[in-house]
Structure 1
Amino acid sequence: MTQQQTPDVTPSIRTGWLPAPVGELMPLITGLGAGLSLCTACDLGLPDAVEEEPTPVGKIAERVGADPDLVGRLLRALAAFGVFRPVGADHFAHSRLSQILRTGAPEGGDVFLQTVRDEWMGGSWTGLTEAIRTGRPALPARHGKGMFEYFAQDAPREGETFNEAMTLMVGSMNEVLAEHIDVAGARRYVDVGGGQGTMLRAVLRHNPGLEGTLFDLEQALTDVHEDLRTGELSQRCEVVPGNGLEAVPEGGDIYQMRTVLHMWDDETCIQLLRNCARAARPGARIIVIDQLVDPERPDPMSSLMDLQMFLIAGGRERSEQEFAALFERAGLEFTKVVRTPVLLQLIEASVPSV
């Protein structure tokens, strides 16, 4: 058999044969099928069943215990989007996209997709219509409890996968964010809701004279980075458990919250910000690290994340003006936005000096 390899590209859906308005909608309309096809491929274990060399469809199907004809059709559909690559009529090879879906791939594609496949995420999106009608977040309505309570009590494995996905995605931005944080004049840096502490670790490594406090719920501090617990940074870092909606550690010069406020509604955010203001030194700074939405120029990532935050926790992504309003209601003074080249931005406020 002569095997001709097709280019490893990510195609787009051809819609020119349709009237313009319908054609422009087709990527959205067909997106559900594409996403579910990808989830099914991973449910079956296809990324691990395809070898380094082009693999016969029959062998792939035998490995995953599925119908050969339908496995071939599923692989062909995904190959149309650049996931897997057809070689000849009945072989498939990995593409750069399917490679990162293999178990343990360093890029973590399998972890991200597992999060999407988990019931708490998929079930929340299927509840979007009812959530918008009622104004009630889908996950708490479905399970009778908040997301973190649900993870702790009902779905610890899903919670672990979520934490791993967030560490991979958000953690990949730590170094860039740390480079953009100005700590001039600060002695103590408090990371509120910092979890494993990877953001605080990056900040302390960039600023050798700075001391840090990692603060989060006790159950969120079970896997703190070794450098902060016992390693090279442990002498400059204390780990403090607690609930930020009740109080936060006192005496900080900078209080940082990375991807925390977008989880909550305005009133909850204001309570957390007020607690930071009460605990901080006069003139201290508050740094919120989150996405920024532009109401006049919406982009897909922040807009969809805005809906997702509402569905799972009643939260939202906010504009610069909305953050400024939160700061004002919390008794803080909005100062500036520091733009970064990554997804997250630094939104800053200060504690009044008098």
Structure 2
Amino acid sequence: MPEPLERAIFGMYATHAVHLADRHGVFAFLIAHGPSRIGKIAAATGTDEETLGRLLVALCAFGVVAEGGSGEYRVPARSVPYLDRTDSRYTGAFVSHLIGSTADRMSYLDAYLVHGKARVDVDLPDPFETIYTDEESVTAFLAAMWQLSFDVSGELADLAELGAVEHLVDVGGANGPFSVAALLRTPTLRATVFDLPQVGPHLHRTRDAYEFGDRLAFVSGDFFYDELPEGDCVAFGYVLSDWDDDTCLDLLRKAHTACRPGGRVLVMDRLFDGHHHPLATAVMNLSMHVETRGRHRTAEEYVGLLRAAGFVDCEVRRSTREKHLVLGRSASQGG
């Protein structure tokens, strides 16, 4: 069997194995103590030795862990940041979201293929009504989104060059991954997160944890029905891929109204390079189909939406990571 096909077929085992090894502290132990035998790992983590052994063999076959031939397993250095719970690049909460939420939604794809998404979803609630159904669900979702967004947000904030910006409005900013990254890098900046009421307590906890005081504010609202707060920079961090083109255009027009003359809008998201790459963008594009009403786009598609909404001097600034920045400017008065 060709290796790409083999890995695709058995991929569900890899995701579950990563989730369980993280959940039961296997990665944490290996990162803290270095190469170790199965018996030692099992004793330290309180796991069944036989089951753990099979789990590690599978993870080794997938290249997630390595075994040096002496029966000792280790986490390769290149993977440590993504499996270390203390690192800003840690992905454990996102993997938990895949197992606990995305996997259930994938069953809808069969009906979508036969009947189309619009017909199947016609009587279903708004996707975020489901995601925000209770406090536990909100907490889990925001933790996953923080892990996917915070680390790369630092680079995107640098690319945005916010030194002259006074007030950043972070639309759908959740518990603040982009706002926090921007505030940490720009001492004169104030930021307002605009999001649904359920998000407020989580944003306030973020504000308190980083001791931002009144530099980080929260405004409750629904961007479908409410106007956006005014600012000289309006940001959509990893939000527009949740929605279709018409909805995105409406939101960008609202941003144009909220953006002071001479200000700018920031769109941050995964971008397709062509139609099939990168892999993460292609896979998350499928996830957007089953979990939201959106899709991932090319840079050119976002530039087209920005121009249609009234923004000018649009440009793309690419990071070294999986998410990038598309920027548009609001014309100055009389310009």
TM above 0.5: yes
What SS does the aligned partner of 2:231 have?
coil
Of stretches 343-352 and 202-211 in structure 1, the one that deviates more from structure 2 is: 202-211
Preserved CA contact (<8 Å) 2:38 2:52: no
1:318, distance to aligned residue in structure 2 (A): 0.8
1:319, distance to aligned residue in structure 2 (A): 0.8
Alignment root-mean-square deviation, CA: 3.7
Tell me which amino acid in the other structure corresponds to 2:267: V
Tell me the distance in 1 between the aligned counterparts of 2:170 and 2:60.
Answer: 43
- 2:124 is equivalent to residue 147 of structure 1: no
Identify the residue that residue 96 of structure 2 maps to in structure 1: 114
- 2:246 is equivalent to residue 267 of structure 1: yes
- 2:41 is equivalent to residue 55 of structure 1: no
- 2:240 is equivalent to residue 258 of structure 1: no
Preserved CA contact (<8 Å) 1:173 1:342: yes
Tell me which amino acid in the other structure corresponds to 1:323: Y
> Which of 339, 345, 348 is 2:324 aligned to?
345
What SS does the aligned partner of 1:150 have?
helix
Tell me the distance in 2 between the aligned counterparts of 1:114 and 1:37.
Answer: 11
Preserved CA contact (<8 Å) 1:215 1:248: no
Preserved CA contact (<8 Å) 2:268 2:323: yes
Tell me which amino acid in the other structure corresponds to 2:94: F
CA 329–23 in structure 1, closer or farther in 2 if over 3 Å, else same: same
Identify the residue that residue 5 of structure 1 maps to in structure 2: none
Identify the residue that residue 82 of structure 1 maps to in structure 2: 63
1:129, distance to aligned residue in structure 2 (A): 3.1
> Which of 9, 14, 22 is 1:34 aligned to?
14
Tell me the distance in 1 between the aligned counterparts of 2:241 and 2:28.
Answer: 38
CA 281–87 in structure 1, closer or farther in 2 if over 3 Å, else same: closer
CA shift digits 1:56-113 (9 cap, x unpaired): 39966x944x6x6555434322222234555879x66443489789895646343232
Which protein is bigger by CA-based radius of gyration? 1
Identify the residue that residue 284 of structure 1 maps to in structure 2: 263
Identify the residue that residue 130 of structure 1 maps to in structure 2: 111
Tell me the distance in 2 between the aligned counterparts of 1:264 and 1:314.
Answer: 5
In the alignment, structure 1 segments of 5+ residues that lack a partner are 1-17
After TM superposition, the score normalised by the length of structure 1 is 0.77
Tell me the distance in 1 between the aligned counterparts of 2:193 and 2:27.
Answer: 38
CA 176–215 in structure 1, closer or farther in 2 if over 3 Å, else same: same
After TM superposition, the score normalised by the length of structure 2 is 0.80
Identify the residue that residue 4 of structure 1 maps to in structure 2: none
Preserved CA contact (<8 Å) 2:197 2:220: yes
Tell me the distance in 2 between the aligned counterparts of 1:76 and 1:69.
Answer: 11
Identify the residue that residue 193 of structure 2 maps to in structure 1: 214
Tell me which amino acid in the other structure corresponds to 2:194: F
Of stretches 341-350 and 321-330 in structure 1, the one that deviates more from structure 2 is: 321-330
Tell me the distance in 1 between the aligned counterparts of 2:294 and 2:223.
Answer: 16
CA shift digits 1:282-309 (9 cap, x unpaired): 3321111111112256220111111111
> Which of 152, 157, 173 is 2:136 aligned to?
157
Tell me the distance in 1 between the aligned counterparts of 2:51 and 2:211.
Answer: 53
CA shift digits 1:128-175 (9 cap, x unpaired): 23223333179x94993233211332x543432221122122101222
Identify the residue that residue 179 of structure 1 maps to in structure 2: 158
Tell me which amino acid in the other structure corresponds to 1:114: S
- 2:291 is equivalent to residue 308 of structure 1: no
Extract structure 1 runs of 4+ deviating beyond 6 A.
48-51, 97-103
CA 133–92 in structure 1, closer or farther in 2 if over 3 Å, else same: farther
Identify the residue that residue 330 of structure 1 maps to in structure 2: 309
What SS does the aligned partner of 1:283 have?
strand
